[in-house]
Structure 1
Amino acid sequence: MPEPVAMPERRQSQFEFVAMLALVLAVIAFSIDSMLPALPEIAQELSPDNVNRAQLVLTAFVGGMGVGVFLAGPLSDAFGRKPIITLGFGIYALAAIAAIFANSLEMLLIARFVQGLGAAGPRIVSQALVRDLYQGREMARITSFIMMIFILVPAIAPSLGAVVIHFVGWHGIFGAFVLLALVGSLWLNLRQDETLPPARRRPLNMTNLVASAREVLGNRQVQLVAIVMTLGFGQMFALLSSAQQLFSETYHKGAQFPLWFAAMALLSGIGTVLNARYVLRLGMRRIVTYAYAMQVVVSSIMAVLVIGDLLPEALRFPAFFVWAVSVFFMAGVTFGNLNAMALQRMGHVAGMAASVIAAVSTIGAVLIAAPIGLLYDGTARPIIMATLICSAAALWMMRKVEEV
C-alpha cells in the first residue's frame, strides 16, 4: 500500500508551484546550454594555444554537480528542503560572480566546478520537495509538467546565450546566472512553505546516513527503476554527445544545427504533455513500458533502413530527424514517471533517495554514452544500435517493476 503523505500547506497554486520548480530546474539546463556560444571567445581569450580546453568549462560544471548530488539530498533530509536549495543557489551565484572576474582558464574551471556543486542543491532537493507534497501518479503528472518546461530550455538557451554575448561578452553569461539564481531563490522563499517539518527530519550523522543509503539501495523497486533510468539516460546522452557530428558531418546540416536542435526539443516536449494528460488514467508503469516498446520498434526499423542502406538520399536526414525526435519524446514520457515510481515508497528519506538515484543513473549513463560516442564512424549506425539495445533492455527490466 502507498504510504500516507501529510500534505504541508503551501501558499501558491499548483500552476505557480510547477512554474517555480520548472524555473529552479531550468537554471541547471541554462547553465550548460547557454555556455555553448561562449566557448570560442573563452578559448581565444583564456586558452589560445589549446582551444579544445575551453570545453572543460562544461565538464567542470557537470563534475561539480556530480559531487554535489551525494551531499544535497541527505542535507535536505536533516535541515529541510528550502534551506538547502537556498544554500545551493547561494554557492552557485557566488561562484558565478567569481567566474566573471576569472583571468585564467584554471580560475574559471574552479569557479565552474563550485558552481556545479551549488547547482546540485536545486537539482536534487526539488525532486524531494515534490515527493513531500505528492505521491504516485499525481507526482508523475506534476513532474511531467515541470519536465515539459525544463525540456524547452535547451531549445532556446544557446540563442539567449548568443544574445547576451553579443551585447556584453562571455562574462555577461555569468551575470545572467546570478540573476536567475536570485529570482529562483526569492520565489522559493517568498511563496513556498517548508515541506519537511522538523518532526520528520533525520539527524545528520553517519549512522543515519548509512541506514538511509542501505534502505534506498536495498529496495528492489528502486534498484530496478534506477537501472531503467540509467539505460534511458545513457541512450539520450549518447545521442546528445554525437548530435553535433551527426548533423554536421553525416547529414551536412551544421549551419542549421541550432534550429534543428530547437525543433527537436520542442517536438519532444509533446511527450511530457501527453504523459501529464494520461498518466492518471493509464498508470506510470504502462506508459513507460509502451514508450520503450515503441522505441524498440522504431529503432529496429531505423536500423534495418540505415544498415541496409535502403533509404534514398533525399529521405536519409528526414528519417534520422524523426528517429531522434522519438528518442527525446521517449525521455519526456518516461523520466518523470520513473522518478515518481522510485521515490514512491521513499518519502521518509526522499532526499537521500533522490541523491542515490541521480548519482547511480548519471554515472551509469556516462559509462554507457562515452564508449558509444567513441564508436562514431561517420554514420548513425552506432547510436541507433545502442538505442535499440538500451531500449530493449529497459523494456525487459520493466516487466519486473511494480505499478504504484
Structure 2
Amino acid sequence: MPVSTDTSVQDSPPIRLVEFVPLIAALISLGALGIDTMLPALPDIARRLGVDAIVDGPLILTVFVVGLGIGQLIHGPLTDRFGRRPVLIAGLIGYIVCNLLAGLANSFALLLAMRFISGLAIAASRVVTIAVIRDCFSGRAMAQVTSLAFMVFMAVPIVAPSIGQAILLLGSWRLIFEMIAAAALLCLVWFVLRMPETLRPENRAPLSLRSTLSGWRHTLRDRYSLGYMIAALICQGAIFGYLSSIQPIMEHVFHRPALLGSVFAASAGTMAVANLLNSRIVIHLGMRRISQVALVVMIASSGTGLAVGHLGDEPLLVFVVVQAITMACFGLATSNMSAMAMENMGEIAGIASSVQGFFGITLGGVIGWAIGRSFDGTTAPMHLGFLIAGVAGLGIAAIVERGRLFRPS
C-alpha cells in the first residue's frame, strides 16, 4: 500500500516500501521470536536443567525481557552517534552468538546469562527500526508505516508458539535456540545487503553523557512523548501479563494445553488485522481518535471477560472471542500511541526510541510479572490487567490532550 503524500513526510524510504515494511517487521520480530517460541518449551527446559517449572521456568522469559529493556538505553545514543547500520549489525551478531551458546547450556545459570545478554543485544533491533522509520516518515505517515510493519510482524506471535511445539515434537528444546539464531542470521544478511544508512551525517549527535542526558530530558519533558509513552507501557504491561498467564490458563483453567498455539494465534491474528485496518484509516481519521476509541472498546471487552468469569465457568470460546477483541484494540491503541510519542522526537529519534523502549519493556515487564504472579486458577487477573490498562490509558490521553478526546488529528 503506498504511503500517503502527507506533507509531514520528511523523506522516502531508502528501498521500495514493499521491501522496507517486511524488513522492518522481520527485524522487530526477532525479539518476539525469543519470547513466544519459548512458551511451550518452558516446562521441558526447567525439567531438563533440574529447576522448578512453575517458580524458575518464567525466569527464562523475565531475564530476556530485562535485558531487552536495559539494552534500549545502550543502543539509543550509539545509533544517533554512529548510525543505524553498525549498531544493528553488532546487535544481530551478538544475538546469534548468544542463542547458539544458550542452546549448548548445561546449567540453568548459564542459560539465564545467555538469555539476558541476548536480550541486551537484540534491543538494537527495536531501537534502530523505530529510528529508521522516524528518519523517513513523520506524523500520520509514520503511523501508517508503523501499522503496516506491525501487521507483518504479528505473523510471528501467531505462529511462534506452534513452531516451538513442532520443534519439541521433532527434537530437543535446544533446537529452538538454533532456529532463532538462524532467523537472526537471515535478517542480518538481508539488512546488510539491502538497507542503506538512513541517518544523515549532519544529524549525527555527539556521544557524550551531556548530550545523552539532554536527549533523555527532552524525551521525558515533552508532554506527548511522556504521556503516550506511559499509556503505551501500561498497555504493554497487560500484554506481558497475557504472555505470563496464557500457558497456565490453558492448562489449569480450560485443561486444554494442546490448544495453546491455536488460542494464541487467534488472539494475535486480530492484532494483525487491526494494524492492517489502521494503516488504511489513520490518514483519514487520525491517530488520536483511533487510539482513544480503541481504548474504550478494550475497556468494554475486558470488563465483559471479567464479568463472565465472575458469574461462573468461562467457556473457552467466550475467552477466545473476548481476547481477540481486546488484542485488536490493543494493536490499534499502541501502534498509534507509539507514533504519537515520537512525533516531536525527530532530531533525537534514536535516544527517544531507546528511552521509550526502556520504560515500555522494563516497567511493562514488571506489570506483566505482577499479573502473571497473581494467577489464581481463573482468568480474572489477566482480564483485570487489560481493564486497568484501558482505563489508565484513556485517562492519560485525556490529560495529555487537555480533555479534548476523540478529535481527528
Does TM-score exceed 0.5, indicating one fold?
yes
Q: Over residues 92-131 of structure 1, what are the superposed CA-to-partner deviations in whole Å (9 max), with x where a residue is unaligned?
A: 1121232233332222222222111110111221111111
Q: Identify the residue that residue 371 of structure 1 maps to in structure 2.
A: 370
Q: Is residue 96–residue 174 contact of structure 1 (8 Å, CA) maintained in 2?
A: yes
Q: Over residues 250-276 of structure 1, what are the superposed CA-to-partner deviations in whole Å (9 max), with x where a residue is unaligned?
A: 233333222222222223321111111
Stretch of structure 1 that moved more, 92-101 or 79-88? 92-101
Q: Identify the residue that residue 344 of structure 2 maps to in structure 1.
A: 345
User: How far apart in 2 are the matches of 1:180 and 1:26?
Assistant: 10
Query: What letter is aligned with 1:208?
Result: S
Q: Identify the residue that residue 391 of structure 2 maps to in structure 1.
A: 392
Q: Identify the residue that residue 177 of structure 1 maps to in structure 2.
A: 180
Query: What letter is aligned with 1:15?
Result: V
- 5 Å-filtered alignment, 1:89-128, equals 89-128=92-131
User: How far apart in 2 are the matches of 1:72 and 1:110?
Assistant: 19
Q: Over residues 125-173 of structure 1, what are the superposed CA-to-partner deviations in whole Å (9 max), with x where a residue is unaligned?
A: 1111111011111111111111112222122112223333444533322
Q: Over residues 218-260 of structure 1, what are the superposed CA-to-partner deviations in whole Å (9 max), with x where a residue is unaligned?
A: 1111111012112211222223322223333223333322222
Whether 1:381 aligns to 2:380 is yes
Q: Identify the residue that residue 32 of structure 2 maps to in structure 1.
A: 29
User: How far apart in 1 are the matches of 2:397 and 2:292?
Assistant: 6
Query: What letter is aligned with 1:7?
Result: D
Cα 1:26–1:341 change in 2 (3 A) is same
Q: Identify the residue that residue 50 of structure 2 maps to in structure 1.
A: 48
- 5 Å-filtered alignment, 1:266-305, equals 266-305=269-308
Stretch of structure 1 that moved more, 345-354 or 172-181? 172-181
Q: Over residues 161-200 of structure 1, what are the superposed CA-to-partner deviations in whole Å (9 max), with x where a residue is unaligned?
A: 3333444533322222222222111211211121102210
Q: Identify the residue that residue 242 of structure 2 maps to in structure 1.
A: 239
Q: Is residue 301–residue 326 contact of structure 2 (8 Å, CA) maintained in 1?
A: no
Q: Identify the residue that residue 251 of structure 2 maps to in structure 1.
A: 248
Aligned length: 397
Q: Is residue 287–residue 340 contact of structure 2 (8 Å, CA) maintained in 1?
A: yes
User: How far apart in 2 are the matches of 1:129 and 1:192?
Assistant: 10
Q: Identify the residue that residue 201 of structure 2 maps to in structure 1.
A: 198
Q: Identify the residue that residue 212 of structure 1 maps to in structure 2.
A: 215
Cα 1:67–1:183 change in 2 (3 A) is same
Deviation of 1:65 (Å): 1.4
Q: Identify the residue that residue 318 of structure 1 maps to in structure 2.
A: 317
Q: Identify the residue that residue 335 of structure 2 maps to in structure 1.
A: 336
Whether 1:229 aligns to 2:232 is yes
User: How far apart in 2 are the matches of 1:97 and 1:218?
Assistant: 41
Whether 1:7 aligns to 2:7 is no
Q: Over residues 4-27 of structure 1, what are the superposed CA-to-partner deviations in whole Å (9 max), with x where a residue is unaligned?
A: 6652661x2101000101111111
User: How far apart in 1 are the matches of 2:113 and 2:93?
Assistant: 16
User: How far apart in 2 are the matches of 1:84 and 1:344?
Assistant: 23
Q: Is residue 236–residue 361 contact of structure 2 (8 Å, CA) maintained in 1?
A: yes
User: How far apart in 2 are the matches of 1:234 and 1:106?
Assistant: 26
Q: Is residue 73–residue 354 contact of structure 1 (8 Å, CA) maintained in 2?
A: yes
Q: Over residues 17-50 of structure 1, what are the superposed CA-to-partner deviations in whole Å (9 max), with x where a residue is unaligned?
A: 00101111111111122223433443343x2254
User: How far apart in 2 are the matches of 1:36 and 1:318?
Assistant: 21
Cα 1:227–1:206 change in 2 (3 A) is same
User: How far apart in 1 are the matches of 2:400 and 2:161?
Assistant: 38
Q: Over residues 319-374 of structure 1, what are the superposed CA-to-partner deviations in whole Å (9 max), with x where a residue is unaligned?
A: 22221112211121122211111111101100111111111222332333333333
Root mean square deviation, CA, Å: 2.3
Cα 1:296–1:34 change in 2 (3 A) is closer
Q: Is residue 148–residue 332 contact of structure 1 (8 Å, CA) maintained in 2?
A: no
Q: Is residue 69–residue 355 contact of structure 1 (8 Å, CA) maintained in 2?
A: yes
Q: Is residue 298–residue 330 contact of structure 2 (8 Å, CA) maintained in 1?
A: no
Query: What letter is aligned with 1:146?
Result: A
Q: Identify the residue that residue 19 of structure 1 maps to in structure 2.
A: 22
Q: Is residue 159–residue 265 contact of structure 2 (8 Å, CA) maintained in 1?
A: yes
Cα 1:148–1:5 change in 2 (3 A) is closer
Q: Is residue 8–residue 139 contact of structure 2 (8 Å, CA) maintained in 1?
A: no
TM normalised by structure 1 equals 0.91
Stretch of structure 1 that moved more, 377-386 or 183-192? 377-386
User: How far apart in 1 are the matches of 2:51 and 2:301?
Assistant: 45
Q: Is residue 12–residue 137 contact of structure 2 (8 Å, CA) maintained in 1?
A: no
Cα 1:393–1:216 change in 2 (3 A) is same
Cα 1:200–1:33 change in 2 (3 A) is same
Query: What letter is aligned with 1:280?
Result: I
User: How far apart in 2 are the matches of 1:374 and 1:90?
Assistant: 34
User: How far apart in 1 are the matches of 2:53 and 2:381?
Assistant: 28
Query: What letter is aligned with 1:140?
Result: A
Cα 1:278–1:216 change in 2 (3 A) is same
| 3-state SS in 2 of match to 1:345 | coil
Query: What letter is aligned with 1:28?
Result: G
User: How far apart in 2 are the matches of 1:168 and 1:251?
Assistant: 27
Q: Is residue 236–residue 327 contact of structure 1 (8 Å, CA) maintained in 2?
A: no
